[in-house]
Amino acid sequence: MTSLKLYPAKPDKVYFFGTCLIDMFYPEAGLDAIRLLEREGIEVLFPDDQTCCGQPAYTSGYHDETRAVAEAQLDLFPEPWPIIVPSGSCGGMMRTHYPPLFAGTSREEQARQVAERIFELTEFLVHVCHVRLADKGDAQRVAMHTSCSARREMGLADTGPALLDQLESVTLVEQARAAECCGFGGTFAVRHPEVSAAMVEDKTQAIEAAGAEHFVTSDCGCLMNIAGRFEHQKRPVRGEHIASYLWRRTS
């Protein structure tokens, strides 16, 4: 399933699904995403009982366990408001895989309705909020990495770059093979560490070769993998979730 072609008018309220990696490693990115939404005049509700979308279990082939995790999320969004996810991976899981995961069960219709209300953060800012950004930062050359799930499951290769293009002092550089995976892939990096390490090495080399001083991504798994590799190599390029980058440069 690709990104929605018909988008609603900007709502007064949205739900926010924070994701595991933001909760455990990058809480500031979640807060910055909420700040961006609130600046657009939207009330953001964060259901306290949210946990994992179920993707790690799903991509490992444990579909029964995935249903148990995913089912716990379905009741968290009772009102018909959009559900904003600051991750193409988690957004892709919820939008694309929840409906078939619950097909033929008593939760089928509820899963479909939840899936239809899932929006990745940059998608929502561009297509629903029609956000306009005023850059307050210094000149910088930036590379954008779009995750595989955002690109292929949600059809969102262009929304992150569209936001960065609004920043007057930012030059968006294009790395070679930009559509290639960074090697994280959730549990893939754990099950195939050597392959993952080779893939992220290619990614960091491509970003640096493009002349980027900084890179941004809308997925924390990719951020952790690419930024970790740069740090391990003691190379100067640093990374940031796009929510934090946008907030920092425009607030």
Query: What pLDDT, on a 0 to 100 scale, did the predictor assign at position 187?
Result: 86
244, 28 contact by CB (below 8 A): yes
- Give, in degrees to the nearest 5, the angle at Cα 129 between 246 and 160: 40
pLDDT digits (tens, 9 = 90+) for 35-71: 999 999 999 999 999 999 999 999 999 999 999 999 9
Radius of gyration of the chain (CA): 18
Q: Is the pLDDT of residue 2 over 60?
A: no
Q: Are residues 95 and 192 in the same domain?
A: no
Q: Are residues 109 and 186 in the same domain?
A: no
Domain assignment present for 36: yes
Query: What pLDDT, on a 0 to 100 scale, did the predictor assign at position 1?
Result: 37
Domain assignment present for 35: yes
Cβ neighbourhood burial of 108 (10 Å; 0-12, 13-18, 19+): middle
Query: What pLDDT, on a 0 to 100 scale, did the predictor assign at position 19?
Result: 97
Q: Are residues 40 and 115 in the same domain?
A: yes
Q: Is the pLDDT of residue 201 over 50?
A: yes
Query: What type of residue sits at position 118?
Result: I
Upper half-sphere CA count for residue 238 (Cβ side, 13 Å)? 4
Encoded tokens for 103? 């097909």
Q: Are residues 86 and 151 in the same domain?
A: no
Strand pairing of 238-241 and 13-16? unpaired
Domain assignment present for 134: no
Q: Are residues 156 and 119 in the same domain?
A: no
Q: Are residues 97 and 182 in the same domain?
A: no
Domain assignment present for 73: yes
**Stated length of the chain:** 251
Percent of the chain with pLDDT over 70: 98
Query: What pLDDT, on a 0 to 100 scale, did the predictor assign at position 186?
Result: 82
Domain assignment present for 135: no
pLDDT band at 5 (very low <50, low <70, confident <90, very high): low
For the chain, what is the mean pLDDT? 95
Percent of the chain with pLDDT over 90: 95
Residues 211-217 have a mean pLDDT of 98
Q: Are residues 186 and 214 in the same domain?
A: yes
Q: Are residues 118 and 205 in the same domain?
A: no
User: Which of 97, 127, 157 is at the close of a domain?
Assistant: 127
Domain assignment present for 1: no
Domain assignment present for 145: yes
Q: Are residues 168 and 88 in the same domain?
A: no
**Does 97 or 191 have the greater pLDDT score?**
97
CA 162/CA 19 separation, integer angstroms: 23
Residue 200: CATH number of its domain: 3.40.50
Cα–Cα nearest to 91, from 29, 17, 141: 17
Domain assignment present for 158: yes
Q: What residues make up the domain containing 216?
A: 140-250
- Comparing 3-7, 165-169, 232-236, the range with the smallest average pLDDT is 3-7
Residues 154-166 have a mean pLDDT of 97
Counting the structural domains of the chain, the total is: 2
Residues 166-192 have a mean pLDDT of 93
User: Which of 92, 127, 162 is at the close of a domain?
Assistant: 127
Q: Is the pLDDT of residue 3 over 80?
A: no
